[in-house]
A and B are shown apart, each in its own frame.
Chain A
Amino acid sequence: MEVDLSKITLRPFKLEDADDFLLFAGDDQVTNYLRWQTLSSKQEALDHIKDVCIPHPWRRSICNDNCSIGFISIFPFSGEEDRFKANIGFGVAVKYWGHGIATKAVKMAVPQFFVDFPDVVRLEAFIDAQNLGSQRVVEKTGFQKEGMLRKYAYMKGKLRDMFIYSFLSTDLPANP
């Protein structure tokens, strides 16, 4: 399958994305390393878009020719002490893996996020030690690997080792 990366864009989710959303959010392979439960119906997809995607502080649909094939979420922490930090997560429909789509999406998302949330200084990603694909995405987009956090948290009932990566606002290339 050919993918034209110039057709990969980011935009907010719409209810009309529900069928496309279900294609990836209903797939265990995509949600394997996410905290989401795999969705199992169009109604669940509609509810998720309405209750989670749309009110989310920064969630975008990754689109191929304006059709939703994945998501990027960047979540600033709440509270006085933590609002300078945020957490990134992403997922792409399996049939679109291997084309550099997630890498392109993250490359577009990160600078835009720092513009939208100027208080955030540190963007971090926790990536399962076995999730090589996502590790490659964040490494190619300039995140710095800081270490491996052993037995850091449960994910879908199993205790996981996670790599922690960060991208600081000061890591952004200076504006020309």
Chain B
Amino acid sequence: MEATSVVQLDQTKAKDECLNLSLRPLQVSDVDDFMVWASDEKVTRFCTWEPYTNKEDGLNYIKNTVVPHPWFRAICVDDRPVGAISVSANSGNDKCRGELGYVLASKYWGKGIVTRAVKMVVDTIFVEWPHLERLEALVDVENVGSQRVLEKAGFQREGVLRKYFILKGRSRDMVMFSLLSTDYQS
């Protein structure tokens, strides 16, 4: 009995690692897939926004925020969007710095998908943006899953910024992580 369940666990793990993962732009035609994660309050718990309740808002978000965004990709399993990952850009004296953000449908949590997606972003962003020196991410102190993603992807934890952010009316401590282009090269 035990031998069988161990084999099944390994098979599941192998299956997860074999998940056909890709990044591509998110389009208006992806709105139904978008609504799956965007309407889920488990997913939006640490997001500044409330769960989406209607498709019209989803369409507007994709048209007005996603399409013009400097770097926004859908995380796809078998070419179907199951989440999103983005890097923000700054200007002037701050253009050396970009902020990473990501979100994943809860059904796909626990399979290492976001860690893989972050690694894919890291592999390309410093090449696409040669002026980028620092990729940073801010994670709620209670969002342990997301902290683990960044640690596994090679980010360095720089410190806890107290009451750095107001999330849904409450001030939150945030952990600052960074990956430098020079970290990546070595």
Contact = CB atoms under 8 A, between A and B. Distances in A.
A84 B166 contact: yes
Contact of A151 (B133, B160, B176): B133
Give the interface centre of A121, A148, A151, A166 by most chain B CB atoms within 10 Å. Answer: A151
Nearest to B164: A122
B163 A149 contact: no
B160 A121 contact: no
Given A122-B163, A146-B159, A151 B93 contact: no
Contacts of B80: none
A155 B171 contact: no
A59 B26 CA distance: 45
A152 B134 contact: yes
A72 to B, nearest CB: 22
Contacts of A149: 136, 158, 176, 178
Interface string B97-134: 10000000000000000000000000000000000011
Interface in B157-186: 158-164, 166, 171, 176, 178, 180
Q: Is the interface of B mostly helix, strand, loop or mixed?
A: strand
A54 B50 CA distance: 40
Give the interface centre of B134, B162, B176 by most chain A CB atoms within 10 Å. Answer: B162
Contacts, number: 63
Contacts of B133: 151, 159
Nearest to A147: B159
B158 A150 contact: yes
A148 B162 CA distance: 14
Nearest to B94: A153
Nearest to B166: A84
Contacts of B97: 151-153
Given A122-B162, A159-B133, A153 B171 contact: no
A168 to B, nearest CB: 6
Contacts of A95: none
B94 A151 contact: no
Interface in A137-155: 144, 146-155
B162 A150 contact: no
Contacts of B47: none
22 contacts: A81-B166, A85-B164, A122-B162, A122-B164, A146-B159, A146-B160, A147-B159, A147-B176, A148-B158, A148-B159, A149-B158, A150-B134, A151-B97, A152-B96, A152-B134, A153-B97, A154-B92, A154-B95, A159-B133, A164-B176, A166-B162, A166-B163
Interface of B: 48, 92-97, 133-134, 136, 156, 158-164, 166, 171, 176, 178, 180
Given A146-B162, A153-B97, 18 more contacts: A84-B163, A85-B164, A121-B163, A122-B163, A122-B171, A146-B159, A148-B158, A148-B159, A149-B158, A150-B158, A151-B97, A151-B134, A152-B97, A153-B93, A154-B94, A155-B93, A159-B96, A168-B162
